[in-house]
């Protein structure tokens, strides 16, 4: 018996794999390495290189490794770029999820934890986002994640698939010095790259309706995220009830200016960020209510903002 982690060679997926194995749950990784790194997969965890679009490969992997559940983290995750690459985004995130569910159905695998996203909400009409906040995705990426949730829901009705979707907000930090966020689009890697190259990080807008004038967002530590994936897998294994979806957020949020202050302290590099014009459509504040996940999935904020920064900085490559 083992759990298949799709995208298990990526930033988030590799942390999930470590948390599963640390909890005594066997894991196997399926990843096409389009954005992941094989070095992120532990040597004692089976690794299959391949695409979610290859149903036969998924079925072979399930058979060979006795897979009984799936944590589905794989996907094309660049919301901004998805606007220019909608067909690729839908192929990877919607068709890939459908192929995975087909393979699971054919092999009788009936439980899945799905990596969803805050992007399903778009720009929400409320400052505190709950699971019932209206869904209005503003990119093909967000739309693809919402469709993924629908696929799980409908397969649950059709065949009794046991499932839950975890909606991430801004995932940062590192749980180990050998795992880092390699995304070219996320805030922390962008700031680190600027500092390493001797450039000054930038804040987009300082005239928002917030205490310090900069946007407030919800940042969560990747290791905390991984804990809740394992808790969800355990509940599904035990046949315990789960919600269709959970927000993984802090309930409080931090501003971009506060992030920059923590960056100065955590990296030891003094700088004064440049102030650029605000980006069109950026809301003042988006923060998630994580109380349902706290109730069911051992969700809690175990790391301070400074710990998020320092852990990410210590793991980040300097080359």
Here the tokens at position 97 are: 């999820």
User: Active site residue: 141, 208, 219, 246, which one?
Assistant: 141
Question: What is the domain partition of the chain in residue ranges?
Answer: 2-171+220-248, 172-218+250-315
In CATH, the number for domain 2-171+220-248 is 3.40.50.720
Q: In the 8-state DSSP scheme, what is residue 186?
A: S
How does the average pLDDT of the chain come out, rounded? 96
Class assignment of domain 172-218+250-315?
A: alpha beta
141 catalytically annotated: yes
Q: H or E segment at 81? A: helix 79-82
Q: Spell 134-172 as b/e; 16+ CB within 10 A means b.
A: ebebebbbbbbbbbbbebbeebeeeeebbbbbbbbbbbb
pLDDT at 12 (0 to 100): 98
Q: Residue 277, exposed/middle/buried by CB under 10 A (0-12, 13-18, 19+)?
A: exposed
What count of Cα atoms within 13 Å lies in the side-chain half-sphere of residue 184?
4
pLDDT at 185 (0 to 100): 86
pLDDT tens, position by position, 257-290? 999 999 999 999 999 999 999 877 778 888 999 9
At 170, give phi and psi (nearest 5°). -95, 105
pLDDT tens, position by position, 52-63? 999 999 999 999
pLDDT tens, position by position, 159-217? 999 999 999 999 999 999 999 998 888 999 999 999 999 999 999 999 999 999 999 99
Q: What is the mean pLDDT of residues 35-62?
A: 97
Q: What is the mean pLDDT of residues 87-93?
A: 98
pLDDT at 160 (0 to 100): 98
pLDDT at 165 (0 to 100): 98
pLDDT tens, position by position, 214-248? 999 999 999 999 999 999 999 999 999 999 999 99
As a whole number of angstroms, the distance between CA 131 and CA 155 comes to: 20
Q: How confident is the model at residue 42 (pLDDT cuts 50, 70, 90)?
A: very high
pLDDT at 319 (0 to 100): 60
């Amino acid at each position: 018996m083992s759990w298949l982690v799709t995208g298990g060679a990526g930033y988030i997926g590799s942390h999930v794999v470590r948390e599963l194995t640390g909890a005594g749950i066997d894991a196997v990784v399926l990843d096409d390495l389009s954005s992941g790194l094989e070095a992120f997969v532990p040597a004692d965890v089976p690794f299959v290189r391949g695409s979610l679009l290859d149903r036969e490969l998924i079925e072979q992997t399930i058979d060979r490794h006795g897979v009984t559940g799936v944590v589905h983290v794989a996907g094309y995750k660049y919301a901004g770029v998805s606007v220019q690459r909608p067909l690729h985004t839908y192929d990877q995130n919607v068709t890939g999820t459908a192929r995975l569910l087909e393979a699971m159905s054919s092999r009788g695998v009936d439980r899945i934890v799905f990596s969803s996203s805050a992007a399903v909400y778009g720009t929400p009409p409320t400052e505190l986002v709950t699971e019932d906040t209206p869904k209005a995705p503003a990119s093909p990426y967000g739309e693809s994640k919402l469709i993924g949730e629908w696929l799980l829901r409908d397969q649950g009705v059709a065949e009794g698939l046991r499932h839950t979707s975890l909606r991430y907000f801004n995932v940062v930090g590192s749980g180990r010095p050998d795992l880092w966020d390699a995304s070219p689009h996320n805030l922390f890697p962008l700031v680190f790259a600027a500092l390493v190259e001797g450039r000054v990080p930038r804040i987009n807008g300082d005239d928002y309706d917030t205490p310090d004038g900069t946007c407030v967002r919800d940042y969560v530590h990747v290791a905390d995220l991984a804990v809740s994936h394992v808790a969800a897998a355990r509940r599904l294994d035990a046949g315990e009830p789960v919600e269709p979806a959970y927000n993984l957020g802090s309930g409080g949020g931090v501003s971009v200016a506060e992030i920059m202050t923590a960056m100065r302290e955590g990296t030891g590099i003094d700088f004064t960020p440049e102030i650029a014009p605000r980006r069109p459509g950026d809301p003042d504040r988006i923060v998630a209510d994580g109380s349902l996940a706290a109730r069911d999935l051992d969700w809690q904020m175990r790391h301070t903002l400074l710990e998020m920064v320092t852990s990410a900085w210590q793991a980040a490559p300097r080359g």
